[in-house]
Amino acid sequence: MRYTEEHEWLRVEDGLVVVGITEHASEQLGDIVFVELPEPDTTVTKGDEIVVIESVKAASDILAPLDGEIVEVNEALADDPGKVNEDPTGDGWFFKMKVEDTSVVDEYMTEEEYKEFIA
């Protein structure tokens, strides 16, 4: 798993990049009450705002960490956005994307580097 400075995690699974937010981010946001996900088959550019999260504290945008195509979204979050708080690095994932080269994920922080970043 790799981490962005925007508190997203990225994990390569079956040739796709799975994206969600870190436990630290979910704790900072508080209870998440709504998640707006992108449409599958959407082409995104790194830095595009693609997910909106609303919590009892604030609204936040999640940015595309890579250039690519959204191929799947976590539909379960529409009915149960609290999954992001309960299991942010598991069942609380946001979307899966297809990228040209999954090795670009390695450019992001390791878990140790991320822990130092948030310390």
Q: Could you read off the pLDDT of 36-69 as tens digits, one per residue?
A: 999 999 999 999 999 999 999 889 999 999 999 9
Q: Is residue 81 part of a domain?
A: yes
Task: Determine if residue 47 is left, alpha or beta; phi over 0 gives left, psi from -120 to 50 gives alpha, anything else beta.
Answer: left
What CATH number corresponds to the domain at position 24?
2.40.50.100
The answer to whether residue 116 sits within a structural domain is no
Residue 45 lies in a domain: yes
Confidence (pTM)? 0.94
Assess if residue 6 is contained within a domain.
yes
Work out how many domains the chain is built from and give that number.
1
Q: What are the average pLDDT values for consecutive 10-residue runs of the chain, which has 119 residues? A: 97 97 95 96 96 93 96 96 96 97 96 97
Q: How far is CA 107 from CA 51, 67, 96, in A?
A: 22, 14, 18
Query: What is the span of the domain harbouring residue 98?
Result: 2-109
Q: Is residue 118 part of a domain?
A: no
